[in-house]
């Protein structure tokens, strides 16, 4: 869920840290935080606009799917390993 939230709700890197810190202290898992941090910069609106022009629509969709899947897998691995705040 955090990976999909990170796509439309991009917050700059500096703004993400206090937001995630509060979420982690409120009970968000480290894996969900990881997924959110990966999808945010990977789907920044300005980057996506340039990527769509350069890659074309088919490869652009593949890129978005890859970012979300990689973020989800990374988050699950972090939770599986058991890292905590």
Q: What is the pLDDT of residue 4?
A: 57
Q: Report CA Rg, the chain.
A: 13
**pLDDT category, 39, cuts 50, 70, 90?**
confident
Question: Apex CA 20: angle with CA 10 and CA 35, to 5°?
Answer: 65
**CB-based contact 16:37 (threshold 8 Å):** yes
Instruction: Compute the distance between CA of residue 7 and CA of residue 83 in angstroms, rounded to an integer.
Output: 24
3-class secondary structure, 83: coil
Instruction: Compute the distance between CA of residue 84 and CA of residue 35 in angstroms, rounded to an integer.
Output: 15
What is the separation of C-alpha 64 from the centre of its chain, rounded to a whole number of angstroms?
11
**pLDDT category, 57, cuts 50, 70, 90?**
very high
């Amino acid at each position: 869920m955090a990976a999909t939230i990170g796509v439309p709700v991009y917050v700059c890197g500096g703004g993400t840290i206090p937001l995630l810190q509060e979420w982690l202290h409120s009970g968000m898992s480290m894996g969900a935080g990881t997924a959110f941090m990966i999808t945010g910069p990977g789907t920044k609106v300005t980057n996506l606009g340039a990527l769509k022009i350069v890659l074309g629509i088919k490869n652009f969709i593949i890129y978005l799917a890859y970012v979300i899947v990689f973020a989800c897998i990374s988050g699950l691995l972090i939770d599986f390993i058991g890292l905590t705040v």
